[in-house]
Amino acid sequence: MSIPPASIAKDLVWPALPYAEWKDTLHTLHMWTQIVGKVRLALSSHLNHWWEVPFYVSARGLTTSPIPYGGGIFETEFDFAEHVLRIETSRGETELVDLEPRSVADFYREFMGSLKSLGIEVKIWPMPVEIPNPIRFDADTVHASYDPSYAERFWHILVSLQPIFQQFRGRFIGKNSPTHFFWGSFDLAVTRFSGRRAPERPGADKMTCEAYSHEVSSVGWWPGDADLAGPALYSYAAPEPPDFRDYPVKPAQARYDNRLKEFLLLYDDARTAADPRAAILDFCQSTYEAAARLGNWDRASLEPREIAESAKQ
């Protein structure tokens, strides 16, 4: 174990997370989560919009939640307090895999071996998804970084965002996704649905067709990429209604990104705001209103009465 829980800073609320400084850890951790996520996907019953796929923020990191197997269940958690991957079964068994600088190939071998030692037999497609230039998990010795301090910062950002997204989720009585973490795109997200079928996307793959079978407004947080050079909150509508990109959203730092086709609020702008929670809620609400108003959603039936009434003013 890299760091005992007692050494974790207690003031990691809205910590900085500069992309350039943790990108190697990010890319390695992304591949590790995909390995675990593919096991969850292989063994879980399908839910609409692939909701059997994501992880959930926990008090120690990210958890798969219970996965069925052989008349029982098991759960796998990335524990960023003790820096281990913990596998626990309903039979009371536990296996640990250390989170430390190690290659994706090494992590893959140990994790799959740990499952086998617990009597869990599962096959997964060993190719990463939703990334450029993928390398098979069992051959990936390129990604081998793990800085526990940045893993902790990442986790504490998710911990801070989780209740805000849940508060926003509670302002909607229509169909709502859980607040969940997608290991494919490596983002925390919550999605609202208009209740209407979306137009078919010509040439879309099976995953995309299922994910966007209905009209949505989605908001989330993403650690960024080399082009963005930092984390950001994002919001998009699918399908995007006319004039969506020109809608005045809050706070003032938020903008529409033509490359991503999403509204963005840079995480550094949100975390340094006088009231980060208020700034994030404003972003969530105003970008949703852009989708709902311009997309002619039936807001009276989708929102609590007090919110629907205020929207008319």
Q: Residue 4's pLDDT band (boundaries 50, 70, 90)?
A: very low
> Tens of pLDDT along 29-38?
999 999 999 9
Q: Where are the beta strands (DSSP E) in the chain?
A: 56-57, 61-63, 67-69, 72-79, 84-89, 94-98, 180-182, 187-197, 214-222, 232-238, 255-257, 262-266
Does the pLDDT at position 7 exceed 50?
no
User: What is the amino acid identity at position 26?
Assistant: L
CA 221 to CA 31: how far, in whole Å? Answer: 18
Average pLDDT over residues 191-203: 92
CA 251 to CA 259: how far, in whole Å? Answer: 21
Does the pLDDT at position 208 exceed 90?
no
Confidence (pLDDT) at 311 = 60
Smallest CA-to-CA distance from 124 within 34, 29, 31 is with 34
Taken in order 8, 10, 13, 16, is the CA torsion positive or negative? negative
Confidence (pLDDT) at 312 = 58
Please answer whether residues 50 and 210 qualify as being in contact, where contact means their C-beta atoms are separated by less than 8 angstroms: yes
pTM for this predicted structure:
0.93
Task: Please state, rounded to an integer, the average pLDDT across all residues of the chain.
Answer: 94
Confidence (pLDDT) at 308 = 59
With both helix axes pointing from N to C terminus, report the angle between 19-43 and 148-169 in degrees, rounded to the nearest 10: 60
Smallest CA-to-CA distance from 101 within 204, 29, 43, 39 is with 29
> Tens of pLDDT along 60-103?
999 999 999 999 999 999 999 999 999 999 999 999 999 999 99
> Tens of pLDDT along 267-312?
999 999 999 999 999 999 999 999 999 999 999 999 998 775 566 5
Q: Which two tokens stand for residue 83?
A: 């820096």
Does the pLDDT at position 110 exceed 50?
yes
- 3-state DSSP assignment of residue 296: coil
Confidence (pLDDT) at 278 = 98
> Tens of pLDDT along 220-264?
999 999 899 899 999 999 999 999 999 999 999 999 999 999 999
CA 261 to CA 258: how far, in whole Å? Answer: 5
Residue, of 89 and 208, whose pLDDT is higher: 89
Average pLDDT over residues 124-147: 97
Does the pLDDT at position 119 exceed 90?
yes
State the DSSP string of 99-118. -SS--HHHHHHHHHHHHHHT
